[in-house]
Structure 1
Amino acid sequence: MPPSGPAQPPPLQGAARRGRRPAPISPQAGPSHRAWLEPVRSVLFASGLTLDDLVDRSGYSKTRISELLRGNGYYPPWEITFSVSHALDVPTSPLRRLWTAAAREARKDNDWIRNCIDQVAHDGDSPPLPYRAFTEAMRPDYSDYARAFLLTDQRAHWVVCEAFDILWLRWSEVAASANLNHYAWQLFRARVMLRAARHADGRPDLRAAVFSTHEVRGSDNAPGHFMALTELIELFDALTRLPDAQMDLTVLHYLCGTPAAGIAHILGMAPALTHAVDHHARATLETLLNAPIPE
């Protein structure tokens, strides 16, 4: 259902040639703030509208809208965020969830958030059916992958929901892409890596995932347990030295138990390429694990 309020006029002819684009996003904007701000800016740039057009459509000043689009200054109340998103025909339900998470990131209390939302009447949106089908199909495997890096069901569930809300905001762009599955996977993967523990060199740190494996949980008192644990930690650490595609495939197949036949679909790869990536990943892991330790 579209947002309540007056119908919006069509994009103005030649609007892309008037005015200037907003300045880059401020470094002050945190990851949750960028989660909704980047898609909103992307919709604005694709629409051909300018800041002057948003002023006319939203009723807010150019200064306020410019600050909002840069993520600069105070975290924006929901009323102005909704007004700008309404002018751009951005889905309200996912945006409101992302806005709420970013408000908490900005240390806004629950009363402030609730009061902001209560100022705007909205009945919610229904997601496109293809989007619903896609996210329902991908949710289990995405959740398993997120859990491997984020360790808990709660954190994995949160980042999957965040990625799917961003995907909904970008759905027109995603659906028009040449490889929807690959596009969605890269978007989701970026959200996981943003919140994964990291080594000093920037690699994700997968070592803690060892303690959630079946082999470790079921062998606390088995002979040689410490040696097996050490070897698993070395293996999991080596996984993160693989190129991205090789690491993703290995984590999905060997840590999450995703059937090989389904991995190509999840990653948006050709099946033949998936087999080649698996072969190279195993060869690279063997080289890494057998490399001499520097003295």
Structure 2
Amino acid sequence: MMPLPGPSHQPPPLHSTAKRGRPPAPISPDAGPSHCAWLEPVRNALFTSGLTLDDLVVRSGYSKTRISQLLRGNDYYPSWEITFSVTRALGLPTRPLRRLWAAAAREADKADDWIKNCIDRVVHDGEEPPLPYQAFTDDVRGVYTDYARAFLLTDQRARWVVSQAFDILWVCWNTATASENLHRYAWRLLRSCVIARASRHQDGRPDLRAAVFSTRGIRDPDVPGHLVFFTELIDLLDAITRLPEDQMDVAVLQHLCGAPHHVIARILGLAPALTRAVDHHARAALEAILTTPTPE
């Protein structure tokens, strides 16, 4: 099994004031979404650390070629041993990265035995999450899950994507807390994870129309006029995805998730007055979209 490095081999902490290193070559298009989910923050950590590939060779004990392959996500899906060594050299937390790595390994069709054997070869259980991180994720988890469910339809898929977003947030926690707006940073991360997994229209917009089946009027066919309601609601949901990002998010959180304005403002990291303005513009835009005849 791979031994845990002793104190003399621990990398010094990384600081945001470090000189930026040379950006790695682009990620391979063959890397799947779960692979990119952990690879992108690792690459960003390397870039902001000021370390070079030669530095990582010294710190991790792996060759420059293998580290370069790992950072590009090409040729092969990396074992946990080299992934751990590189990410440990960058001072990144082990537990969330191990979960993200395992999910991407399954997406890459790696067998469960291979995944288990890779993990067992590294003697390191990882650290506990920071208490502020735990408090933050506990606070936003419910609304995040409601938003994810609106696009992904099932509780299981919604919880999985939210957990993935939280693991990425843990990996990036130092960057997130150093940003001007933690809630804004975390929301954009969550949103990108959800939209990446959502069904899409041919033009690339997320497809919310299936969320119509979670409404009371559709679940209960005895409600008078439910077929008219069904058609009108599909049109509304389709129109919502034509809005700019903030307007769409406010509309989804308000109309599909039932979140009040003050909660929406906090979750999105927007000032309450700005949230009300975004809601006002969203309503006006929806009215215009729904009343404009569709071109033949």
TM-score, structure 1 normalization: 0.94
SS at match of 1:164: helix
Match of 2:127 in 1: 125
Deviation of 1:17 (Å): 8.5
- Shift in Å, 1:25: 1.1
Match of 1:35 in 2: 37
1:115 to 110, 114, 117: 117
1:149 aligns with 2:176: no
TM-superposed CA distance for 1:83, in Å, is 0.7
Contact 2:217 2:223 (8 Å CA) reproduced: no
- 2:191 equivalent among 184, 189, 192: 189
Relative to structure 1, the CA distance from residue 170 to residue 17 in structure 2 (aligned partners, 3 Å threshold; closer, same or farther) is closer
The whole-number CA distance in structure 2 between the counterparts of 1:176 and 1:16 is 16
Match of 1:105 in 2: 107
The CA deviation at 1:48 is: 1.2
Corresponding residue for 1:292?
Answer: 293
Partners of 1:228 and 1:98 in 2: CA distance: 41
In 2: Cα distance, 1:141 partner to 1:203 partner: 22
Quote how far apart the aligned CAs of 1:217 are: 1.2
Q: Which moved more, 1:131-140 or 1:116-125?
A: 116-125
Q: Which runs of 5+ in 2 are unaligned?
A: none
1:253 paired with 2:254, answer yes
Structure 2 Cα separation of the partners of residues 160 and 46 of structure 1: 26
Distance 1:4 1:147 in 2: 40
Does structure 2 retain, via aligned residues, the 8 Å contact 1:211–1:217? yes
**Partner Cα separation in structure 2 for residue 70 and residue 293 of structure 1:** 44
Q: Partner residue of 1:202?
A: 204
Of 26, 31, 47, the residue aligned with 1:45 is 47
Q: 1:174 aligns with which of 176, 182, 188?
A: 176
> Residue 11 of structure 1 contacts residue 47 of structure 1 at CA under 8 Å; is this kept in 2?
no
Aligned pairs, number: 289
Quick one: which amino acid aligns to residue 51 of structure 1? L
Q: What is aligned with 2:229?
A: 228
In the alignment, the residues of structure 2 paired with residue 269 and residue 21 of structure 1 have an alpha-carbon distance, to the nearest angstrom, of 31
**Is the contact made by 2:137 and 2:166 (CA closer than 8 Å) also made in structure 1?**
yes
Per the alignment, in what secondary structure is the counterpart of residue 102 of structure 1? helix
Per-residue Cα deviation, 1:53-90 (whole angstroms, up to 9, x for no partner): 11111111111111011111110000000011111111
In structure 2, the CA distance between the partners of 1:11 and 1:140, relative to structure 1 (3 Å rule), is: closer
Matching residue's letter, 1:224: G
Quick check: 3-12 or 220-229, which moved more? 3-12
Unaligned stretches of 5+ residues in structure 1 = none
Misfit runs of 4+, over 3 Å: 9-12, 15-18
Identity %: 69
Aligned to 2:267: 266
CA contact (8 A) 1:21 1:51 kept: no
Kept after mapping to 2: 8 A contact 1:11/1:48? no
* Partner residue, 1:4: 4
Cα offset for 1:256? Answer: 0.3
Residues 1:132 and 1:17: Cα distance change in structure 2 (over 3 Å): closer
DSSP 3-state at the match of 1:162: helix
Q: CA deviation at 1:16?
A: 5.4
**Structure 1 vs Structure 2 CA RMSD:** 1.7
Q: Which position in structure 1 is the counterpart of 2:138?
A: 136
* 2:42 is equivalent to residue 55 of structure 1: no
